[in-house]
Structure 1
Amino acid sequence: MSEQVQPTARIWSDAEIGDDFDYVPVSPWAPVSLVAGVVSLTALLNLFGLYLAVFGALVGLAAVLRIRSSLGTVKGQPMAAAGLLLASLSVVGGGYRTAHAYRHEVPEGFRRVHFPKEIADLQFVYINGKRKIPAEVAELVGQKVYLKGFMWATQDTEGLTRFILLKDNGECCFGGRPKSHDFITVTLNSYPEGQRPALASRARGMSEKILTPDEQQTLGAKHQHQLTTKAFVGMVAVAGVLHADPKAGEGGEQADFEFAPVYTMDAELVEEAWTPF
């Protein structure tokens, strides 16, 4: 009778069991922090990116703290720390970029003016039915100012010699008719041949054209050479001399009086705003 071979049972050691199940998952906070850190680099390009960088830094800090408090049940701290570092550097770099742009955006010899607060919100003073310019705004009339707003009802995209500047984008995006204190009629300067204003050279969207006699008369241009600008969708900055005519629209319909072009500006610079404030 042949000897039966009994199957040999395999004995699993504790070490082998430990090797098979020694797995520590990566915390989902780690990749989230890293992605937020990469996105935060947009702070070096615009102000919205700076907001993202601040959010990314908060996410990165929360990720590092959560992973550290897990007592080794999850891993991914280096990844989370990298995201936190990127976001933090973006906050610093983006903040410096924005502050530097704000300090240097106003051309030399011009006064920074906050269009909504220092002009539009003050509205007008009425004495015996006559419109008067508020004293605070009157101080700005005839001065070289630098202010920001939005282009309105611009049909052309290039070669603009005149446009309406609004205090905000309410009318330009949602329709309506701005009141007299809420807009400025901007006319770009003309100049003698060979004497193009140096300030206009800093704006990539500005060029020049030669006016025909009819165009020169229509614009009231003193010279044949005329600055022009392209249209902008976002906030624009304008540098020039502010004028005011409180009698604009008097003697006509009440609606024409309310929406008359009281404020005008002779401008030598139109460009995308460096900062949105």
Structure 2
Amino acid sequence: MSAEISMGVYDNAVDFPYRALSRASVVSVLMIPFALLGLIQAFAPLLVLALAGAVCGVLGLRAIRRWPDEYSGRSLAITGVVVHSLLFFGGSASHAYVYVTEVPEGYQRVSFYEFQQPDSLPDVPTARALEFDGTDIFLKGYIHPSSGSGMLRRFILVPDLGTCCFGGQPKSTDMIEVTLAKGQTVRGGLTKLKLAGRFNVNPYDQRAAGFDNQIYYQMRVDQIR
């Protein structure tokens, strides 16, 4: 009797061996919530996590196929590969569409960095800024907190959150004095703004309250979002 019981226990152990969950498969699924943030325009760079998550899923599948008696989690790996692939390609297409269509007709896209001088050079308007003087442009930036809170009609625009919140007094070429036209207002905050309007380079020594450095750049904005 004892021999039969021992044999039965041994058979069950052979028929149902323990298999560990593939770590790569688990990581792939855990990365999904973070990759989802990449669908938001402001967090678009996080879409790279979708690519990394898909790779983890593929690695998990390979490990399970190679050592089927040691690893489980095939369904997790497949879920990770499918979801991350949809997020990466769908999100990339969505952001590309927004990029292509976000500039209003009659305005030229400009990157803020084209107006900025390196620290090694004098803090004066760049040649590129002078080229755009008096033209209609489209660019993005952040409201500097020193511009005030609440609903604003005039504020100082800076290129990034580092300059906005952690860089102290911004340089002259890191600032654009913005005036909203047509009675528009915008709430102060840390949201990245898209602006379309007339850009001008001011040759005179002008400063704004709360800012130490001279302001060369001005922009009268027709559209903001």
**Which residue of structure 2 lines up, in the alignment, with residue 166 of structure 1?**
158
Q: Could you tell me which of 67, 77, 85 is aligned with 1:80?
A: 77
Code of the aligned partner of 1:18: D
SS in 1 for 2:21: coil
Partners in 1 of 2:54 and 2:169 — Cα distance? Answer: 43
Relative distance call for 1:234 and 1:122 in structure 2 (3 A) is: same
The residue correspondences of 1:87-98 to structure 2 (distance < 5 A) are 87-98=84-95
Structure 1 residues 73 and 176 mapped into 2: Cα distance closer, same or farther (>3 Å)? closer
Which residue of the partner structure matches residue 235 of structure 1?
192
Return the structure number with greater helix share. 2
Number of the residue aligned with 2:96: 99
Residues 91-118 of structure 1: per-residue CA shift (max 9 Å, x gap)? 11111111111111111111000111x1
- Alignment match, 2:133: 141
**Contact preservation (8 Å) 2:117, 2:124:** no
Computing the radius of gyration over CA atoms, which structure comes out larger, 1 or 2?
A: 1
Show the counterpart of 2:142: 150
CA distance in 2, matches of 1:173, 1:143: 29
Please list, as runs of the form range in 1=range in 2, the aligned pairs for 1:127-138 lying within 5 A after superposition.
Answer: 133-138=125-130
Q: Let me know the Cα RMSD of the aligned residues.
A: 2.9
% identical aligned pairs: 29
Give the direction of change, closer, same or farther, for the CA distance of 1:74–1:178 in structure 2 (3 Å limit): closer
TM-score by length of 1: 0.68
Greater shift in the superposed pair: 36-45 or 90-99: 36-45
Equivalent AA in structure 2 for residue 56 of structure 1: G
In the TM superposition, residue 71 of structure 1 has moved relative to its aligned partner by 3.8
CA distance in 1, matches of 2:149, 2:18: 62
Map of 1:40 onto structure 2: 35
Contact 1:163 1:185 survives alignment (8 Å): yes
Measure, in 2, the Cα distance between the counterparts of 1:13 and 1:176: 76
Instruction: Tell me the CA shift for residue 121 of structure 1.
Output: 2.7
Q: CA deviation at 1:247?
A: 2.7
How many pairs are equivalent?
A: 216
Q: Which residue of 2 aligns with 1:11?
A: 4
Tell me the secondary structure at the aligned position of residue 121 of structure 1: coil
| CA displacement, residues 185-211 of structure 1 (integer Å, 9 cap, x when unaligned) | 001113xxxxxxxxxxxxxxxxxxxxx
Check whether the contact 1:37–1:87 (CA below 8 A) recurs between aligned residues.
yes
| Aligned CA distance change for structure 1 residues 133 and 9 (closer, same or farther; 3 Å) | closer
Structure 1: distance between partners of 2:91 and 2:220? 34
